[in-house]
Structure formats: C-alpha cells, structure tokens
Chain A
C-alpha cells in the first residue's frame, strides 16, 4: 500500500488520513473484546474502571469473580479447600455444570453435523449431482432463516415429535425431545451443518479429482481411495468445518432457551440469565475465558487453512 511517487501533497494528506481511519475502525472491532479482560479482574462489583484500577493499585484488582465462577451454586463454598471442595464444585457449581452441558452438547452435535455435512459436501461437489443448486440452498438455509423462527418451530416439533404423523391419520404415542440432551444435540447439529458444508465444499473446489482417479486406476477400491487420498487432503477443511459447528453450538442460546430443560443449562444460557440480571462482573470473567477460547480456536483454524493451501499446492496469493 505504498504511496505512488507521483502523489500530490493533497493525496499524501488523504493517504495518512485514510490510514488513521482504518486504525480507528480496527480499534472499534477489537476494543470491545479487549476491554472486558481487565474489567473481569475488578475488585469492585462495577462494570467500569475504578480509580484504583487506573492507578494500577494492586488492591483494585482481584480474582474474586473467577473464584465466584466455581463457588456459585456450591453446597458448601466456605469449606476448607481440598478434594471435598473440588468435588463439590464439580458436582454443584452452576458454571461448572453449564460447561459440562455445553461440552456434551457441542461434542455430539459437532460429530453429527460433521459426518453428515462432509458426506453431503462430497456429493454436492460431484459434477453429476442432480438439483445441486436447490439442494445446496436448502442445506444452507438454517444459517439464513432467523433463529427465532427456527427455535419456535423446533419448540413445537420437539415437544411432540409425533404430531406430524397425525396429519396422515396415525396416532402413535411417543416421547418428547424437548428437555433432553438428544433434542438440543439435534437442534445444534442442524444449525452447524451449513458451516460444515461451506468449508468442506470450499476445500473440495481446489481438490484435484485426477488424484482420486489415479488411485482408482492403480487398483484402489473406492473406500481405500476415500480414506487414503481424499480424506487426508480435505481433512483441514473438515476440521475447520467441525470447529465452526462446535462454536455455533457453544455460542447458541435461542434454541436452548426454547427447547432445553433444566438439565441442559449451557454456558450461553447461564450468561443470558446473568446479563439480564447484571448482577456481577462474574459475567465478564466468563467472557474473558470465552475470548481466550476463541483466540485458541481462531489460531487452530488459521493454521489448518495454511496447511490446506500448502497441501493442495495453492501458494498464498
């Protein structure tokens, strides 16, 4: 972005103004995320910088909100530390239980979305695929349809999954999916699928089909070809897709609000309560942990993308 040598003085001024504007916009993008980190160490229950914090007085800072993430909901938080205290936290602390729910739901919904999504992406990338355009549109639509509409539909359907059968005259009795792990997992898998499809098909666009043909001509059966040739090449895309699906589930609150029961109180659900009640900077402590988590995920995805480009022989442009 060097300035051309023939630039007039006015253009030079504009050029630096432009760089300043860009810096301001980057600041706008990042500042809100960064600002929660120091505030989560606030010793006072406020959402703003206290005088002590600004003068870097150690008394202005504390870990109390991080501690409260463990103690909130515990049967006996003031007991002496040790194994019993940690067992109590593991069993009863609300945020710990929320983390457990989030991980269980995220894990299974990611597997479901990734397996189904990758298979479908393989099919969609074949030139012979019939009705490609419309099917693709349908499979991506969970990302486009407003979440409140999706969640509302799921709320009715999951409360009584057999109701549609009554339209064709049947009247079976079946359980419900709302309020179960299975229900939330299915819902989150649906929401994660578009991300898997998009990332895996993007990888497959650069995929050289002649590699698979070469394997086939050398006597490999389709399964061997898939696992030995195709899979390693598209793996970075699959993992990126899986991470996207996981993050989608890990961050999802509306479907959880509508269909989850008391056993599936995820981290976002717990945060939703906390934000609406605005009780303590404990929310900011959770937010800080989540920011660190997303930095780790972003780093992984970036690494995978570069690896994928190298593997497929696409040099960075």
Chain B
C-alpha cells in the first residue's frame, strides 16, 4: 500500500500506539478509519475539482450541442405547431377513421391560417419528408386559400386538387400531427410506413441510406486494411533500426501527420488528375497511351488512396510502440530451434504485434467511418460517405431531422467502436507521435 508513505498515516501509527486495546486513533483523538476516509475524500475532491472546469466546458460546448441536435431526429413540429386544429382532430379520432366534416373544416381553417402566417411552406416541407411530392400541394393550396375557403370544405378543397382525398396523404398527416416521430429513423434505414401505419420498404428509387452505410463500412474496412499493409513494414523497420536512424525516418512519418489535411488532399488532387503528375509519368513511361489516362480521382479510388495516406500515421504509431517492446531473442530462439524465418514471423513475432495492430486498426476505422473533408473533395459521387450525406441534408435539402437521425446512427456505431477500443486498448494508451 503506497499510502504507508502518507504523512497522515505516519502520525496515525504513532498515536494509535498509545492505546493498544481500542480502535486506532489520530493525534487529535479521531478514529483512524474515519480520518483516513476523510483525507482520501479530500484528495478525491481535490483531484475532481481540477477536472471539473474542463468537464463543464466540454459538457456545455460539446455534449449539450450534440444532445440538442440529436433531439431533432425524433422531434419535428413543422406540422403540429402550424396545423393545430387538424392535429387536435387526429388526436381525438383513432387511426382508420374516415375524415368527417369536422376534419375538413379543421383542414380549411388551418390552411387559411397558415397561409396568412406564411408558415404553409413549413407544413408542406414536413409532410413532404414522409411523402415526396406533396410540398407543392400545400404551397399552392396556401396561395389559393389566402382569401379564405368557403364551405362546403370537403368539396372546396378537393376542387383545388384531387390529391387532398388521397388516404396516404391523410395517413402521413396523421403521423406528422404529433411533434415526436420515429419516421426519420425509419427513413434513415430506407423504411417507410404504408397507409395503415405498418413499416415497409421505401420505393426502390428512394433507397439510398442503407447502401451508403454499407459503402462507408466497406470503404473504411478497405482503408484500414491498406493502412495495415503499408504501415506494418514501416513500423517493423522503425522498431528494429538503431534509435538514431529510426528517429530520422520517423520524421518522414510524422511530417504528413503534422501537415494540414487540406494540403494533403490538394496534393492528391494534383497528383491523381487526368492531366496530373501520376498520369503524366505513366504516359511518359509509355505504360498507357495519352488517350487512356486513368480516372483515379472523383471516384472511390481517389477516396481510398487519399484517406489511406492521411490515416497511415495512425496505424504506424501504435504498431511501432508495441513492436519496440518485442524482445528479438524470441524470434532468434525460434530460428535456433529450426523454424524457417516465415514460421518464426508467423508463429512468434506477428502474434506479439497484435495489441498494436488492434489499436491502430480500430483507431483508423473509427476515424475513417466519420470522414468528411477528403471524400467531399476527391470522392466524386461514388466515393461519398455517410458524413457527406449528413452534410447534404444539413446544408442543401435542409432536412435537419433526417440529418440528425443519420448522425445518431453513425454516432451510435462510432461510440460502440470507441467503447471496444477503451476495453481492448485503453484510452490512456492513445499516443500522438
């Protein structure tokens, strides 16, 4: 017990010696156990107070914003807040009820009010998420409803557009009448709800998300594997060379690590373009004709090459630090017992590198799964990852609930891997150069 060295403990032993029969006491007469507990409580509190400012900071600038964003994946009140009367009707009448006169009157009143308040676009946008092609139904109805809708409401609204009678539309409006919904998660998994509210597959031309999750997974796996292929020999070389030489070569690994991500991505664009340096060299060597220049960028190849380069140091560094600790005499012993160099490597050396390999592979995979910048710049349309789709929903289609649902799924996956990493490797063992 290292606490034996603690000054408090020293006092205690001395004071306790006075009364060998009773419980051990400190100089001021308190029971030893309590004094010890208090002093360790104080130490704990002091340590915690040092961490507290940062913990609060991270809570406020990082955890809270992410939580707030994720809340959007289940909450969207674009319909319920702006169509209060129809929403109320849906709550009073169970699924399956045919829209009655009261429902049509509520719809007419809400449409008129929303058109006046210029919030009809929000309503249409919300419904359009669950049923593509309906936004215009609402905006054009809003334009026509500016002057008010005359009864009979059902006929008046159907006269604007027959689509208002579509049971699918009413089913979707019912879904949207509650501010909270799981539909964005369903959509993120390429599922949708049919007229009766049952979960079914989305129409084929709208199925993209599962495909993109799969592509992200596979590309990340490929990138992890290529970083392993390229990183292993380098780490081995660095670990077995004398320190002076390996420190020098280590700079070649660390320089890319310290160089701006945008610079490295730009560099790959310069190299891989059709009129770029690599194609120029291949043509000059006569390996390909001038009209057969390879398409190595704006597709998956570009994403894989550039990301392998960018993530390679994250594989090399943990591998290197594990390989440094491997005792070369084990391999020598195996060789002296008659193993070929391949067998010695396979049976003795490689198994010892597994901790470093696991750490590097997990780290590379975690970082690759969430990559955004590089695929956005060099990925074309076939090299885009799920992050790029989140960005697209954030900045272009403005379907923020969808972006949040995709983000939540991605985050769930990453956190799971992070947990595995902590279990297997330990976060303390993360090293930077």
Contact = CB atoms under 8 A, between A and B. Distances in A.
Is A–B contact present in the complex under a CB 8 A cutoff?
Answer: yes
Interface of A: 1, 4, 6-7, 11, 14, 18-19, 21-22, 25-26, 28-33, 35-36, 39, 46-49, 116-117, 119-120, 122-124, 126-130, 133, 135-142, 144-150, 152-158, 163-164, 186-187, 189-190, 193, 195, 198-199, 201-202, 213, 217, 244, 247, 250-251, 253-254, 258, 268, 271-272, 275-276, 278, 283-284, 287, 290-291, 294-295, 297-298, 301-302, 305, 316-317
Closest 8 CB pairs of A and B: A146-B370, A123-B50, A157-B65, A153-B65, A32-B267, A120-B54, A123-B51, A153-B69
A247 B55 contact: no
Contacts of B324: 317
B112 interface: no
Given A33-B256, A128-B40, 10 more contacts: A19-B237, A22-B237, A117-B54, A123-B47, A147-B370, A149-B69, A253-B373, A268-B260, A275-B266, A290-B260
A240 B237 CA distance: 26
Interface stretch (B133-141, B173-181, B423-431): B423-431
30 contacts: A26-B252, A32-B264, A33-B267, A35-B271, A36-B267, A39-B270, A47-B273, A47-B275, A48-B280, A119-B50, A119-B51, A127-B2, A128-B46, A130-B44, A130-B47, A138-B58, A139-B51, A142-B58, A145-B66, A148-B387, A150-B65, A152-B390, A157-B64, A163-B68, A190-B61, A190-B62, A258-B394, A268-B260, A271-B262, A302-B254
A35 B309 contact: no
Interface in B375-433: 377, 387, 390-391, 394, 400, 403-404, 407, 410-411, 414, 418, 422, 427-428, 430-433
Contact of A137 (B40, B255, B372, B422): B422
Nearest to A23: B237
Given A122-B50, A140-B430, A186 B61 contact: yes
B407 to A, nearest CB: 5
Contacts of B72: 156
A234 B53 CA distance: 20
Q: Bin the interface of chain B by size.
A: 35 or more
Contact of B277 (A19, A49, A254): A49
B263 A287 contact: yes
Contact of A35 (B243, B259, B270, B403): B270
Contacts of B256: 29-30, 32-33
Contacts of B332: 4
A21 B266 contact: no
Interface string B264-286: 11111111010111001000000
Interface in B174-220: none
A22 B430 contact: no
A295 B354 CA distance: 32
Interface in B215-269: 230, 233-234, 237, 240-241, 243, 249, 251-256, 258-269
B43 interface: yes
Contacts of B254: 298, 302
B369 interface: yes
B103 to A, nearest CB: 32
The B interface, classified by DSSP as helix, strand, loop or mixed, is helix
A119 B255 contact: no
Contacts of A250: 260
Contacts of B67: 153
A271 B243 CA distance: 38
Nearest to B244: A316
Contact of A148 (B63, B253, B372): B372
Contact of A157 (B68, B233, B427, B430): B68
B114 interface: no
Given A202-B431, A294-B258, A287 B266 contact: yes
A7 B276 CA distance: 43
Given A119-B51, A148-B407, A149-B390, A33 B263 contact: yes
A152 B372 contact: no
B370 A290 contact: no
Contact of A36 (B230, B234, B255, B270): B270
A291 B243 CA distance: 26
A26 B230 CA distance: 9
A81 to B, nearest CB: 30
B61 A144 contact: no
A156 B68 contact: yes
B247 to A, nearest CB: 8
B267 to A, nearest CB: 4
A156 B64 CA distance: 11
A26 B249 CA distance: 9
B265 to A, nearest CB: 7
B390 A148 contact: yes
Given A35-B270, A36-B267, A123-B49, A149 B252 contact: no
B262 A253 contact: yes
B259 A152 contact: no
Contacts of A6: 335
Nearest to B250: A302
Contacts of B234: 22, 25-26
Given A201-B428, A298-B258, A145 B414 contact: yes
A32 B271 contact: yes
B330 interface: no
B62 A33 contact: no
B43 A128 contact: yes
A115 to B, nearest CB: 9
A195 B270 contact: no
Contacts of A150: 62, 65-66
B61 A154 contact: yes
Contacts of B43: 126, 128
B323 interface: no
Contacts of A137: 418, 422, 427
- Which has the most chain A C-beta neighbours within 10 Å: B51, B63, B309? B51
A152 B62 contact: no
A119 B422 CA distance: 23
B253 A275 contact: no
A310 B430 CA distance: 22
Nearest to B324: A317
A289 to B, nearest CB: 10
A73 to B, nearest CB: 19
Contacts of A35: 267, 270-271, 277
B237 to A, nearest CB: 5
Given A18-B233, A21-B233, A149 B428 contact: no
B377 A276 contact: yes
